[in-house]
Structure 1
Amino acid sequence: MADKMKVDKAGDDQHIDESLYSRQLYVLGHEAMRRMANSNVLVVGVKGLGVEIAKNIALAGVKAMAIYDPAPVEISDLAQFFLRKEDIGKPRAEATQPRLAELNTYVPVSVHTANPFENLESLAKYQVVVLTETLLEAQLKVNEYCRSKGIYFISADVRGLFGNIFCDFGDEFSVIDATGENPVSGIISGIDDEGLVTALDETRHGLEDGDYVTFSEVEGMDKINDGTPRKVEVKGPYTFSIGSVEGLGKYSRGGLFQQVKMPKILKFNSLAEQLKKPEFLIADFAKWDRPIQLHIGFQALSKFAASTGALPRPMNAEDAKAILSLAADIAKTIEEGAPEELDEKLLTELSYQAQGYLSPMAAFFGGLAAQEVLKALSGKFSPVVQFMYFDSLESLPSSTSRSEESCKPLGTRYDGQIAVFGRDFQDKIANTKEFLVGAGAIGCEMLKNWAMMGLSTGPKGQIHVTDMDSIERSNLNRQFLFRAPDVGKLKSECAAAAVAAMNPELDGKITALRDRVGEDTEDIFHEDFWEALDGVTNALDNVEARVYVDRRCVFFRKPLLESGTLGTKGNTQVVLPNLSESYSSSQDPPEKSFPMCTVKSFPNRIEHTIAWGREIFDSSFVNPAQSVNLYLSQPSFIESTLKQSGNQKEILETIRDYLVDAKPLTFEQCIEWARLKFEKLFNNDIQQLLHVFPKDSVTSSGTAFWSGPKRAPDPLIFDLENPEHQDFLVAAANLHAFVYGLKGSTDLSLYRKVLDAMMIPDFKPQSGVKIQANDSDPDPNASAGFADQNELKDIAESLPAPATLAGYRLTPVEFEKDDDTNHHIAFITAASNLRALNYGIPPADRHKTKLIAGKIIPAIATTTALVTGLVCLELYKLIDGKNKLDDYRNGFINLALPFFGFSEPIASPKGKYNDTEVDKLWDRFEFERNVTLRELIDSFEEKGLEITMLSHGNALLYASFFPPAKLKDRYPLKMTELIELVSKKAVPAGRRNMIFEICADDKSGEDVEVPFVCVKTRD
């Protein structure tokens, strides 16, 4: 693989492999990636937590990474996913290094050989040093050295269901972007003499106190347009103050504001100082009093291990008593925030679990610590200041007992987990049947955690994983089970094979499928399949699939673990049968869309022109080819088109244009087409708009038409030497050629030859053309599509008969955002930026255009790892069979801030009919046989309910207003027969249960919400 991330001859620029890092670049940005690419990182300790941190750092793309851990591999270390049975006895770092190095060929991974605790000078070459599972005395020593050399220091530790992290980034650490949110911008309608700025048309400005903004295009106050950042004081959702504007002139009209991210300086204290005066980031506000207790407890563990040579034994009362004694002494050294008394129960549990290791906890802190490394190197996002403690004691099992005997090591790879939960619960984990839907970023991390937990490795255990997608190069940056040779292979199969290699006990226990989970695959994921499961975990990236899986889980009453990520943000949700609401019970806000009028004629932001460019792509290379193919393949196409309302003429003229008038026979003709397309879009259409609305136009109220959000455009004069013009021409010509199956070219000499011979007709404004001025106004062209039928028939008759073109087809372009050679993003970028130049809008680079046009979801490995850790902590609870809402936690995290929020799942909605209380989500009316319609209605009448409507899917089977004769014929039909009669479709042979929705009135005649109906149609 060619090295695409390297320093050029000037030594100050890195070329980033966007095909690999594309999703991460949308989170961190190019500048942060360049800083990371100049940095060396050392990770000390590569047991479970250390390798999680190292894995995430390697995927992120630093200059180089070293690992240090000379201890020999033991059987219990196989809970570290890069160690194998044949590695036992080898130094941990040496055994881990080759597999860690495979993750990212741009990140060399070496083994640090000098003892960093004895040879501190060996740390001088690193920008960040990360210590894991290190005694406190050694931490203090390394931290002191790192501070003296300006090296960023992080330490992290996990002990069973407990963990912590500490960060020290020095006395003056500069945060260049505290939140990672896109800077807000807007249009202003006024600035008064006191510096109060008002947003246009009461549009929320989205600013906060202390933000900074710059101004541009403000008329009457030229000096305010100088780019000076001005501090904001928010006065209301639509107004903010910038202080005195004396000497800046008097506001006339217009103007834009743009938020500016200002550096923020943070001061960190040393570890020695923080031990006595700790600062905590609260991870769980329901446990706000625990950090100081755990702060003392972890110090006690370190002192115990330093004096005895080992951590406290699992469930050992004597060792726990010693920990409490040490904790009492340590509490006296706390100078600020010392607890009034120690939580002996909490600290005893910490002692009991001290030798425990849990993959989900390592994933959680591995994601968190790696993100802190990236923050230190890049200055991007707010770091942890300075300690964070987290526990998940709710995950302890109540269905099995723990004792010193049951938690003793057995000489297995699961000894760390057994130390926390005991042998009996390990057996329950091993005999679970779980279904994972999706094998992408979350799916890979989930399977890795499951493999390390030993999920489904027992005689009754089974994992099913399905994913219909194949591996792409951009997946390799965060879907860590895949390697470069896997590109093009099926995700589910590669992921299953990878985790079976990590834990051979999964061999034969994991089934990889390639099918989408939906209504069209219910013959594969049939009723027997769902009923055999213990639970379902989603690892999906689209709402439609999530909703379907959620509905299936509700119907079969299976618990569902749901999660998702967006950059540094993540969420987890637990769906509990008969207890909680489901995923579908709430909805995300609708995707933001732009007014059509704005996109078509009056853009004022680059997002508007990108949306326009995407529409031009479809209307030029997708829709016309599809219409031509329909005309050629469907004999009734013309007839059905003539019966339509709206755009029949446009459709027919497009077919004539693409099939007759402008059909190219050579690539040179495609170049001509592209040149004329440029002239129309960026010159003629703009001149026509200005003909309808001249720059000096005024509205009926006397105000300037081109004001506020409306920016007066200017036509562009084509210049082949202009890179933006050139990019449009080359992309448009090649895409047009693709539609017709012609060979394209990027040879500019050919383009010059064609253009030199072309004559571009002068623009002549058209009279009678109407343009909608505002979205609130009626569309003046609303009836334009209702063309004269004779005119439409004339156009139709001018088309060549399909029979004369037998077998001829055009090729619609299938938009693919991740192929840099197909001209798709190149066309949209060029079209958008040319449109932006028309309207005086700052253009966007290809990277930003790709994000918006491709609707890309930003992603980073650290967030994914942390979120899956949280999901698996909830999985422990489901396996245990916990049955109270407050046993579970939904999670909301943002690593950029950083923020952690947890809440118990929301209870499912309840209802009532007559005197009966029901769960609207989980309850249902069940019939154990295939009843008739009459029997079903009578059954409800016995319950005091009168059915007013009964439906199955989109088929209305019964309504009280149906004519008696119609009902008479339907009453004796069994429910399957009724469905087939109305829907005209046969009930699938394997379907045993049918779902029906009803509307019903209670005894008082009031409409009531009632559960759905389930009829068992077959045994």
Structure 2
Amino acid sequence: MADTNSMQIDNTEDGPVIDEGLYSRQLYVLGEEAMKRLNTSNILIVGLKGLGVEIAKNVTLAGVKSITLWDPAPTKIEDLSSQFFLREEDIGVSRAVASAPRLAELNQYVKVSVLESPLDAPTISQFQVVVLTETSLETQLQINEFTHQYNISFISADVRGLFGVIFNDFGTNFQITDATGNEPVHGIVSDIDEDGNVSVLDDSRHGLEDGDYVKFTEVEGIPSLNDGHPRKVKVLGPYAFNIGSLSGLGTYVKGGLFTQVQVPFTVDFEPLSKQLEKPEYLISDFAKMERPAQLHIGFQALQGFANKHEGQLPRPFNDEDANELLHLARTLSEQNPSILDGAELDENLLKELAYQARGDLPPMTAVFGGIVAQEVLKASSGKFGPIKQYFYYDSLESLPEKFPRTVENTAATGSRYDNQIAVFGKEFHEQICNIREFLVGSGAIGCEMLKNWALMGLGTGPRGKIVVTDMDSIEKSNLNRQFLFRPHDVGKQKSEVAARAVVTMNPELAGHIESKQEKVGTDTENVFDDDFWNGLDGVTNALDNVDARTYMDRRCVFYRKPLLESGTLGTKGNTQVVYPGLTESYSSSQDPPEKSIPLCTLRSFPNQIEHTIAWAKNLFQESFVLPAENVNLYLSHPDFVESTLKQSGDQKTILETLQSYLVTAKPLTFDECIVWARLEFEKKYNNEIAQLLYNFPKDAVTSSGSPFWSGPKRAPNPLVFDPSNDTHMNFIIAGANLHAFNYGLKGCTDLAVFNKVLENIMVPEFSPRSGIRIQVNENEPVEGNSTSLEDDELKKLAESLPPPSSLAGYRLVPVEFEKDDDTNHHIDFITAASNLRALNYAIEPADRLRTKLIAGRIIPAIATTTALVTGLVNLELYKVADGKNKLESYKNGFVNLSLPFFGFSEPIASPKLKYNGKEVDKIWDRFDLDKDITLKALIDYFKEKEGLTITMLSYGVSLLYASFFPAKKLQDKYNLPLTKLIESVSKKPVPDHAKTLIFEICADDLDDEDVEVPYISLKLR
């Protein structure tokens, strides 16, 4: 056995220590306990062709304890079709031996080794999970018999062209700790009756389903409900559920919180020998409900064919071999008629399986490699619901229609692309090679996309080209899922490193891939100009924000370019095809806006940890960002007080902040920063809470006589500072260091230094005051500060500030929030600030990891979902390359690997507009003008040619013309060319790089009815 990487993850008495910097995004998907179980799992992967290496790559990135590879077969040139760790110089070398050192580079914590001994029982017994690819059915049965007996998780999988299969057997009594991975729902109880009917607040749905379990806290009147025991739920409606009779246990008085809990359960799997005869399927595509049974017969027939031909599969597009496979399939269906359940054998489908059997396509190995790797993680951790037990999938829609296949053009050529040519033929392969594609983003999805394209040969032809742009540099947290990057790449530009990596993978890309660092947007339209766009065949997004996606969508619509869109969120993923003249665009539908937290809840009445985290993030801004920025503005602009402050409704706060940060509380030493942090603690967690309770005592009632502190309002308690409390001290340490950073002072984390200073601080006594107004509900107006500098108090504050001229060259340093630097105190401060606020209100605190997720607005991510989604996108890219122009040819995908769920649908057709008896495409059609004309000529042209009366004309945010403008104003505009009209109204010249201008119009039809019409495109040159 050859050991290629012996570094192990650190361990303590509590188990493995997780490298949060590396695994942060994955931790949000799996959780710490599942990650620890992964770190103790040893995985065997058999078969290192495209599928095997894809599984191995994803599992290595996930961070198991060890991966052992078994594949003594020598590398062949055609293996390079889908095996991204093999090079031409590896031909003749064992695939496992050649792949192992490159696989080991992905994760220093995973031990990677090559198994050279036979796959016997003693060897297999060393592993928790065994994965078989490229393995005969007889060997699968033999190994599975042993693994099932000893409850070793077993997975077998294969990809044959555009077809694939997975089989799972995790043994008997396999425990699942969390089937979905969803964040537990929670809520506030408003009533509970003796029958166990629980009502929640009217403005908050409970979000539970039948069979869920919940536990209760803070229920008054039924003390046994607070015992922490999970109770099963039966849903009665969106605002009520039942937990069983509570008769005799007490009478509900008030209060109560419920929280969903995951109750572990066990699942039994059958061995392969039984499942072959009576299979259980997970449906991959509900439009193909009949396919699994057909493919179950077909894949067994493939095994029978290989047994008869010394392991060789049917030849590409060979009817003789296909007919032989059909004969075997008929025999199998006759021997076990229950599989097809009376249905006829689909001979065309199975002949296609035979035609493609020798094919090995990168998108298919990516799809199945992502799914299988997630099943490995489920088997190792017990997290999420596994496939039970067979999974069949095909993408026959990806076959070309305009490039016929024959025996001759699917035959091997002795090139690295032979396994793709076997499925599609030489002509379609050449079409792929000559594509000119723009990839926007080279992060997780971008890396996977480039890997797929390099293996497919996309862009390597005489005309072909790939352009990839990404303005970001590589961070440590990227390494867990952006697999083209290595630790020594941290700090370098993503697009440059990714481009170099795929050229190493496929040298034929050299000279055909260009990396850029520009962000796509209006500011870079001089870079990505008309010539650039007109030279593209299509665009693929690999973006992580909606704004950039919608911008790219608009550009693709304007230049009529196909757009392939995708995204992931933990184990969830989606894909979308945008095709000119056929589908709606990405921007045609939008996600609902995030639910905002009312300000009054944040300021005074939090009831969830999300509220305290948002409050703490705001405190971070108000303490370390805005004051420094305002000080710098004051020092830079002499008229800051007179002009800038007049635009603000909070002048007093800003002036008091300037006075504090420049005069009364300006620190000269780090000790003074400690004092500042201690006083901030007192102000936020004692004084302000005391003032709130002064305004609204715990026994306060509303105007209707009901308790004020009820429902979502939780009565707080002031905190008394305790230097022995870690959370208290974490706030002081982080706050003092951040305050010191503002002033350019050297920080410190030595507890002895802090304790010495804290012992001598005199904290002023606080007395609540009358007349302080506190907002109680969202609709209640907030008493604002005076905005007049004639106010005596504001004048005194302004006059007390040192003149900017006396502080020439002096500046503060605003903190720039960075969530992924564990040494900068940013997340430490927000975690401590949030948890102190939570202690005020008796809310369960959150650990640093969860706080970082919410405060940093981090998108949970895992390599398995990324691989799957990218594979699905490239299966659609084959269709785009073929120029398919039927809506039903394309598929949008929706997947959730945790459940698991796979859903596909046709894209939505682009909507149509009608006017004066004409029908046009709302998204893709437009009025094209090839020369600059006057406003009057434009109005006349539309009246004569289209029967439309233009009532309004706009360019960007500038309203150029409206029929209601005064006559004299219109007279001045009529004879201006459109470009001059723009400059006249906007007071800005038309950009030099602009070759096309877009105008929006409102118009009336021949019946003087307002109608929706496309936009105008004016070509300048």
TM-score tier by shorter-chain length is over 0.9
Secondary structure at 1:424's aligned position in 2? Answer: helix
Secondary structure at 1:130's aligned position in 2? Answer: strand
Partner of residue 988, structure 2: 985
Residues 168 and 390 of structure 2 are in contact (CA less than 8 Å); yes or no, is this contact kept in structure 1?
yes
- Give, as a single letter, the amino acid of the residue that structure 2 aligns with 1:507: A
- 1:797 Cα shift? 2.0
Partner of residue 281, structure 1: 282
Match of 2:934 among 927, 932, 935: 932
Secondary structure at 1:604's aligned position in 2? Answer: coil
Consecutive unaligned residues of structure 2, counting only runs of 5 or more, are: none
Partner of residue 294, structure 1: 295
1:254-278, Cα deviation, whole Å (9 max, x unpaired): 1011111011221111111111100
Match of 1:791 among 793, 809, 812: 793
**Residue correspondence of structure 1 range 843-858 to structure 2 within 5 A:** 843-858=845-860
**Residue correspondence of structure 1 range 747-762 to structure 2 within 5 A:** 747-762=750-765
Match of 2:598 among 579, 595, 600: 595
**Residue correspondence of structure 1 range 451-462 to structure 2 within 5 A:** 451-462=454-465
Take 2:855 and 2:413, find their aligned partners in 1: how far apart are those partners?
55
Match of 1:496 among 499, 505, 519: 499
Consecutive unaligned residues of structure 1, counting only runs of 5 or more, are: none
Residues 311 and 354 of structure 1 are in contact (CA less than 8 Å); yes or no, is this contact kept in structure 2?
yes
Higher mean C-alpha displacement, 983-992 vs 789-798: 789-798
* TM-score in terms of structure 2 length: 0.98
Take 2:629 and 2:249, find their aligned partners in 1: how far apart are those partners?
57
Residues 634 and 804 of structure 2 are in contact (CA less than 8 Å); yes or no, is this contact kept in structure 1?
yes
Residues 4 and 15 of structure 1 are in contact (CA less than 8 Å); yes or no, is this contact kept in structure 2?
no
Take 2:809 and 2:974, find their aligned partners in 1: how far apart are those partners?
51
- 1:341 Cα shift? 1.2
Secondary structure at 1:198's aligned position in 2? Answer: strand
Match of 1:869 among 867, 871, 878: 871
Match of 2:616 among 613, 616, 634: 613
Q: Identify if the C-alpha distance between structure 1 residues 60 and 290 changes in structure 2 by more than 3 Å, giving closer, same or farther.
A: same
1:431-471, Cα deviation, whole Å (9 max, x unpaired): 01000000000000000000000001011000000000000
Match of 1:474 among 477, 481, 484: 477
Take 1:723 and 1:178, find their aligned partners in 2: how far apart are those partners?
35
- Give, as a single letter, the amino acid of the residue that structure 2 aligns with 1:641: T
Residues 294 and 346 of structure 2 are in contact (CA less than 8 Å); yes or no, is this contact kept in structure 1?
yes
Note if 1:158 corresponds to 2:159: yes
Higher mean C-alpha displacement, 721-730 vs 974-983: 974-983
**Residue correspondence of structure 1 range 619-634 to structure 2 within 5 A:** 619-634=622-637
Match of 1:5 among 2, 9, 14: 9
Partner of residue 705, structure 2: 702
Residues 686 and 714 of structure 1 are in contact (CA less than 8 Å); yes or no, is this contact kept in structure 2?
yes
1:340-393, Cα deviation, whole Å (9 max, x unpaired): 210000000000000011000000000000000000011110000000100000
1:98-150, Cα deviation, whole Å (9 max, x unpaired): 1011000000110011121xx23211100000001211111111111111121
Partner of residue 364, structure 1: 367
1:164-208, Cα deviation, whole Å (9 max, x unpaired): 100000121111111110111100100012110001124210000
Take 1:43 and 1:3, find their aligned partners in 2: how far apart are those partners?
20
Residues 36 and 374 of structure 1 are in contact (CA less than 8 Å); yes or no, is this contact kept in structure 2?
yes
Q: Identify if the C-alpha distance between structure 1 residues 916 and 498 changes in structure 2 by more than 3 Å, giving closer, same or farther.
A: same
Secondary structure at 1:708's aligned position in 2? Answer: coil
Take 2:117 and 2:7, find their aligned partners in 1: how far apart are those partners?
29
Q: Identify if the C-alpha distance between structure 1 residues 183 and 594 changes in structure 2 by more than 3 Å, giving closer, same or farther.
A: same
Residues 914 and 1003 of structure 1 are in contact (CA less than 8 Å); yes or no, is this contact kept in structure 2?
yes
Take 1:7 and 1:19, find their aligned partners in 2: how far apart are those partners?
16
- 1:404 Cα shift? 0.7
Partner of residue 999, structure 2: 996
Partner of residue 690, structure 1: 693
**Residue correspondence of structure 1 range 332-481 to structure 2 within 5 A:** 332-334=334-336, 336-339=338-341, 340-481=343-484
Cα RMSD after superposing both structures:
1.3
Partner of residue 539, structure 1: 542
Secondary structure at 1:705's aligned position in 2? Answer: coil
- Give, as a single letter, the amino acid of the residue that structure 1 aligns with 2:318: N
Partner of residue 562, structure 2: 559
Note if 1:880 corresponds to 2:882: yes
- Give, as a single letter, the amino acid of the residue that structure 1 aligns with 2:781: D
Partner of residue 126, structure 2: 125
- 1:792 Cα shift? 2.4
- Give, as a single letter, the amino acid of the residue that structure 1 aligns with 2:561: K
Partner of residue 841, structure 1: 843
- 1:279 Cα shift? 0.5
Secondary structure at 1:110's aligned position in 2? Answer: strand
Partner of residue 329, structure 1: 331
Residues 645 and 786 of structure 1 are in contact (CA less than 8 Å); yes or no, is this contact kept in structure 2?
no
Take 2:513 and 2:385, find their aligned partners in 1: how far apart are those partners?
40
Residues 407 and 421 of structure 1 are in contact (CA less than 8 Å); yes or no, is this contact kept in structure 2?
yes
- Give, as a single letter, the amino acid of the residue that structure 2 aligns with 1:809: R
Secondary structure at 1:772's aligned position in 2? Answer: coil
**Residue correspondence of structure 1 range 724-743 to structure 2 within 5 A:** 724-743=727-746
Take 1:730 and 1:194, find their aligned partners in 2: how far apart are those partners?
51
Residues 219 and 255 of structure 2 are in contact (CA less than 8 Å); yes or no, is this contact kept in structure 1?
yes
Q: Identify if the C-alpha distance between structure 1 residues 202 and 592 changes in structure 2 by more than 3 Å, giving closer, same or farther.
A: closer
- Give, as a single letter, the amino acid of the residue that structure 2 aligns with 1:290: R
Take 1:3 and 1:86, find their aligned partners in 2: how far apart are those partners?
28
- Give, as a single letter, the amino acid of the residue that structure 2 aligns with 1:47: K
Secondary structure at 2:199's aligned position in 1? Answer: strand
- 1:914 Cα shift? 1.6
1:922-964, Cα deviation, whole Å (9 max, x unpaired): 1101111011111111111112211111111111111111112
- Give, as a single letter, the amino acid of the residue that structure 2 aligns with 1:848: R
Note if 1:956 corresponds to 2:959: yes
- 1:785 Cα shift? 5.9
Take 2:664 and 2:911, find their aligned partners in 1: how far apart are those partners?
61
Residues 333 and 339 of structure 2 are in contact (CA less than 8 Å); yes or no, is this contact kept in structure 1?
no
Take 1:528 and 1:831, find their aligned partners in 2: how far apart are those partners?
52
Take 1:657 and 1:696, find their aligned partners in 2: how far apart are those partners?
37
Higher mean C-alpha displacement, 966-975 vs 603-612: 966-975
Partner of residue 174, structure 1: 175
Higher mean C-alpha displacement, 984-993 vs 844-853: 984-993
Partner of residue 70, structure 1: 72
Partner of residue 903, structure 2: 901
- Give, as a single letter, the amino acid of the residue that structure 2 aligns with 1:198: S
Secondary structure at 1:292's aligned position in 2? Answer: helix
Residues 8 and 110 of structure 2 are in contact (CA less than 8 Å); yes or no, is this contact kept in structure 1?
no
Partner of residue 40, structure 1: 42
- Give, as a single letter, the amino acid of the residue that structure 2 aligns with 1:515: E
Residues 572 and 896 of structure 2 are in contact (CA less than 8 Å); yes or no, is this contact kept in structure 1?
yes
Take 1:789 and 1:548, find their aligned partners in 2: how far apart are those partners?
47
- Give, as a single letter, the amino acid of the residue that structure 2 aligns with 1:164: V
Secondary structure at 1:213's aligned position in 2? Answer: strand
Take 2:436 and 2:75, find their aligned partners in 1: how far apart are those partners?
31
1:10-46, Cα deviation, whole Å (9 max, x unpaired): 3x41110000000000000000001010110000000
Match of 2:920 among 915, 918, 921: 918
- 1:807 Cα shift? 1.4
Partner of residue 53, structure 2: 51
Residues 731 and 827 of structure 1 are in contact (CA less than 8 Å); yes or no, is this contact kept in structure 2?
yes
Residues 433 and 533 of structure 1 are in contact (CA less than 8 Å); yes or no, is this contact kept in structure 2?
yes
Take 1:296 and 1:921, find their aligned partners in 2: how far apart are those partners?
45
- Give, as a single letter, the amino acid of the residue that structure 2 aligns with 1:566: L
- 1:784 Cα shift? 5.8
Residues 825 and 850 of structure 1 are in contact (CA less than 8 Å); yes or no, is this contact kept in structure 2?
yes
Take 2:793 and 2:596, find their aligned partners in 1: how far apart are those partners?
36
Partner of residue 719, structure 1: 722
Note if 1:270 corresponds to 2:271: yes
Secondary structure at 1:949's aligned position in 2? Answer: strand
Residues 649 and 787 of structure 1 are in contact (CA less than 8 Å); yes or no, is this contact kept in structure 2?
no
- 1:794 Cα shift? 2.6
- 1:783 Cα shift? 5.8
Take 1:793 and 1:784, find their aligned partners in 2: how far apart are those partners?
11
Take 2:236 and 2:790, find their aligned partners in 1: how far apart are those partners?
57
Q: Identify if the C-alpha distance between structure 1 residues 4 and 747 changes in structure 2 by more than 3 Å, giving closer, same or farther.
A: farther
Partner of residue 672, structure 2: 669
